Each structure stands twice: as C-alpha cells, then as structure tokens.
Amino acid sequence: MKNLVLLGGGYGNMRILSRILPDSLPEEYRVTLIDRMPYHGLKTEFYALAAGSKSDKDVRVSFPKSERMNIVYGEITDIDLEQQIISVGQTRVDYDDLIIGLGCEDKYHNVPGAKDHTYSIQTLQKARKTYHDISELPSNSQVGIVGAGLSGIELASALRESRSDIEIFLYDRGDRILNQFPEKLSNYVKKWFDQHDVTVVPNSDIVKVEPGILYNKDTKNEHDLIVWTAGIQPVELVRNLPIDLSRSNRVILNQYHQIPTHPNVYVVGDCADLPHAPSAQLAEEQADQIATVLKTLWEGKTLPEQMPEIKIQGFLGSLGEKKGFAYLMDKTVTGRLASILKSGVLWLYKYHNG
C-alpha cells in the first residue's frame, strides 16, 4: 500500500480530504492525517474564543471519517524529505506523497520581549489561555492589542462586547485602519471603535515589550494584558527545512504546488509562497488545485502546461455579533449585511465539514 500523508488538519488539508475521499483515492493508497489536535480548529474564529464571545465547541469541527484514512495524533518533531519519513515523537510514518499544511505562528519582528510577554490567538491552546486570563481581569483593566489587521480588529470588537468593563487599546502601524483598502471601509471600522470606546493608536511602532508594558516608539504604555496579532510566519519546523524559502520564509513551489527538488511533496496554506496574503480562502483555493494535480497524476495523465491563476474574492470581518465589514470583488460592504454574509459562510463551512 502507498501512503498519502497530510501534515496538519487545517483548511487546506480539510479541503483536499473532501476532494479525494471517498471515490478519488486509488485502491493502492491510504491516507494518514497527522495533527496534534483530534479535530479541525476554525482558526478564523479563534479571536472569538479568546474574547469569550464563542465557546470552544463553536470553533472546531470533526475530522472526516473514512475506512481509508488513519489519524495520528501528536506533535510532529521532524520531516525527513530524503528518507520520506515523518517523526511524531517516537512514532515514524513513511510517505509516498506528502502534503505539508502546518500553518503559521506569530511573527514578532525581532521586538525584544514580544514573544515572552504577550498573549496569542494563533492556536486553540493559546486562544484558550488568552481567554482564561482575560476573563480573570478585574473591572477597569487595560488590554493592549498589537496589530490592527483582521485578527486584531475582530478581537478588539468581540472583546468590547464581552467585556464592556475594561479599556481596550488597538495599536495600528498604519495611519488608518486597513489602510490598503478603501477609506470607506477604514472609516466604518474606525467609527465603530469610536462609538464603542476602543482606542485606536495609529502610526504605532512597538520597539520593546516588558511585563505589562508596551513601548510605542518613546512612549511607555502600561497594560494589564497584551495580545500580539502583528504578523505571522510559517511554523519553525517548516522554516528549518533544507529547501528554498522566500524572504518571508515561505516555501518556494512550482506551479503545481510541489517542492521543485521533491515533486512528491506539496505545501498548502500559510507555509506556501503565493502571490496573495495567507488566508483560509487562499488555502482552500490552492488545495483544490493540489487535489486536481494528485488526481491527474494518479490517473496517469499529463499535467497541464499552465495551472489556472488563483483568484481571491476578498475578505469578511466581524465587528461584534451584529455588525461587520467586507471587501468583495473590489466592493465595500459594511454593517448588518456584512455580518450576515460572514455568518452564512461559516455556517456553510460547518455544514459541509461537520
């Protein structure tokens, strides 16, 4: 039997599983999924878990069940591309084809103290820890959130609704919220924050973090708890692989999403060097192409000379439970409609994967 091994049960590998099981996997193959958790975590919703606006069970779905799939639980400790062996502690798993979908971790941009003295929402375990310690804060406490991207915005707004008794400061590196998108979108989000007493600190440059203290340029800001949402990078295990990486430490792939020196190894999601910002949507679009490549090769057919361009429709964001914002096909959508759209997308995802 041949073994198709999937590292990580994130959005990309979940999509690949849905495309090859149960009917497209050749008879001589089995699938092995390796993950440290016994379920798929909805990473786009980890902010809500950390803020206390959603429960743990609301941000996860079960892995698919199949007689042809084996699941190995544990922390991956080594990827040997030459011997084609994955180490999970003392367990060794051989592969014939490999899909690396191990996701990302926080990027601290070499800011002293940032890793040691801030909280994270990058994994379920870290989001749980963040929620626990936020929920224990007394009234009038101050929470600082570094990074006003999508995660920082959603965390700040959800936290405001779940903890109306605390002060929230959102540190934005740009001169306006989401400054790479239309001002209409920025102004809507900023107005929501103004109306809900979330302090946005523009043009921030965090140069050092100490316990309970953020240094924004020369200004010392004291907070009872600090959450870091200011950038991501591929997990360390992938960054250390002996292969070509981009300047952002993402894996350089050929057009078929294979590592050029190891064409039986594919990389999906946040670890892949693609011409779009990492997102769940991007991982799924890429996963569709990987599934197509695999099925083409399994059928003994020739791969196309040129793979289609991956197109991203936009993004959806929440501002608390009833408001939202979106940028879809170069159009700005705000308010209740954007919130309904995001809720609908999430419901459909759970429905198809639950």
Residue 353 has a pLDDT of 86
Mean pLDDT of 197-219: 97
Residue 258 has a pLDDT of 98
Residue 354 has a pLDDT of 65
157 and 139 Cβ atoms separated by less than 8 Å: no
- 3-class DSSP assignment, residue 95: coil
Residue 84, sorted as left (phi over 0), alpha (psi -120 to 50) or beta, turns out to be left
Largest interatomic CA distance in the chain: 65
Mean pLDDT of 227-244: 97
101 and 272 Cβ atoms separated by less than 8 Å: no
Over the stretch 295-313, which tens digit does the pLDDT of each residue have?
A: 999 999 999 999 999 999 9
Over the stretch 220-235, which tens digit does the pLDDT of each residue have?
A: 999 999 999 999 999 9
Over the stretch 135-183, which tens digit does the pLDDT of each residue have?
A: 999 999 999 999 999 999 999 999 999 999 999 999 999 999 999 999 9
Tokens of 223: 């907070």
How far apart, in whole angstroms, are the C-alpha atoms of residue 318 and residue 242? 39
Mean pLDDT of 13-31: 96
Mean pLDDT of 68-84: 97
Does the pLDDT at position 6 exceed 70? yes
Residue 351 has a pLDDT of 87
Over the stretch 120-136, which tens digit does the pLDDT of each residue have?
A: 999 999 999 999 999 99
Mean pLDDT across the chain: 96
Tokens of 306: 């040129």
How far apart, in whole angstroms, are the C-alpha atoms of residue 128 and residue 52? 9
Over the stretch 258-295, which tens digit does the pLDDT of each residue have?
A: 999 999 999 999 999 999 999 999 999 999 999 999 99
Does the pLDDT at position 212 exceed 70? yes
Residue 277 has a pLDDT of 92
- 3-class DSSP assignment, residue 245: strand
